[in-house]
Amino acid sequence: MNAMAHWRSWLTSVIVVAVVILSTMSAQAQPVGPLTDVGTQVEVGEKVRVLRLDGSEVRGELSAVEPTSLDVEVDGRVVRIDAADVREVGVKDGVYNGILIGMGAGLAGGLVAGQLATSPDDGNLRGLVVMVTGAAGLGVGIGLGAALDAAAGHFKLVYRAAATVRVAPFAATGGYGAVVAVAW
């Protein structure tokens, strides 16, 4: 096998790995609807992150969804958040994305390592080495991807409030004006 065939084989492996990685990644739509729809997308007891209009966030388990408020259990106590104060609600994302990304990256790394560790003159041994290193990379990638994704607190957006503008007049000795707050 000459050098050109070696590079063609290597390039084919890279293209196959790229196709596998791209096919496992799915564009995740972020459904956004009325606050009452949170109850249909998130089950009571699931971990949520609620971002308030003032920028603070509440993380805990969803206790209840009502038309006028959300109840989130934080450290054993229930925090009630008025619907008018909610900017975003996110639900804890599983490790599925990390597993898929780790699978693709691990497989790619394993296949490339197998290609680099052998020469085109190794014949059937090369195929065996590439297969074994690819499988090992796949396993390591799945484990690392799941672990890293679990360690990072990703939340999938299930609600976003419409943009709001609040205007409040004020008057003081020697002047007057307005305070404007914009949230989106």
Tell me the pairing of strands 86-92 and 47-52: antiparallel
Measured in degrees and rounded to the nearest 5, phi and psi for residue 160 equal: -140, 130
pLDDT confidence of residue 39: 74
**Is the CB of residue 87 less than 8 Å from the CB of residue 160?**
yes
Integer CA distances (angstroms), 129 to 8, 81, 118, 124, 126, in order: 18, 58, 8, 9, 5
Least confident of 32-36, 93-97, 99-103, 113-117: 32-36
Has domain 35-93+154-170 been given CATH number 1.10.10.10?
Answer: no
Domain boundaries, the chain: 35-93+154-170, 95-152
- Using one digit for the tens of pLDDT, what is the confidence trace for 21-56? 655 544 443 444 567 777 777 888 888 888 888 889
Quickly tell me which residue has 């898929």 as its tokens.
100
